[in-house]
Amino acid sequence: MLISRLELERFKSYERAVISFTPGINAILGINGAGKSSLLEAIGFALFDHKPPGCKLASLVREGARSAHIVVRLVSGVDERVYEIERRFTTSTTSSYRVLDAGLSRDPSERVCLAEGGETVKAWLRAQLDLDPAAALDELFQNTIGVPQGTITAPFLQAPRIRKAIFDPLLQVEEYRKASDALLPTQRGLDERHAALLRDMAALDGRLENLADLREEQAQ
């Protein structure tokens, strides 16, 4: 998945902004308080349904406004088509959350809606990211993409139980366990077949030994 464009309207300090991204590394520069972190927060909220800890919906809406609008344009890593994730919200609730096919029409009003509603949109995003259907998108963002400055090593300093809760879902440890369990019947079947072949080989070895004795007797 490649994010190519971010549109903001009345989001935090932004009245209106359009930011384009290019393939590879993109650097966002600005003085403190310029709104750099807000760009990442907008992406996290639109794509991963993530808000910073303790953040209320009203704090994402520009001061004095009653609603905000985020559009993230992306190129799918599954089919290489262009899609847009659109999220409109007020100070108290999300009013619209949609996935639009941006490759079918240049006119936003004519774009086909492929998914609508929180759970449906998040299911679509999980499929795009090749995640387990039950994966928590907000936790994925918090622990990988949107790690706050200065805390990237913090999880490694936690107790083993806490580290396990953070890293097992990221590394899909449970998926490996399920795959291993699913292969157990195959392994047992191969082990049984191997044992049967060893028995057959032992029987053939015995017959070969008898054959040598018979040939010796015939030679006499």
Res. 23: pLDDT tops 70: yes
Rg (CA), the chain: 29
Identify any residues that bridge with 69 across adjacent strands, giving them in sequence order.
Answer: 9, 88
CB 127 within 8 A of CB 134: no
pLDDT in tens, 69-116: 999 999 999 999 999 999 999 999 999 999 999 877 777 777 899 999
Res. 64: pLDDT tops 70: yes
Task: Residue 74: name the closest of 47, 106, 98, 35 by CA.
Answer: 47
CA distance 177 to 161: 18
pLDDT of residue 13: 93
pLDDT of residue 206: 80
- Percent over 70 (pLDDT), the chain: 96
DSSP 61: B
Res. 10: pLDDT tops 70: yes
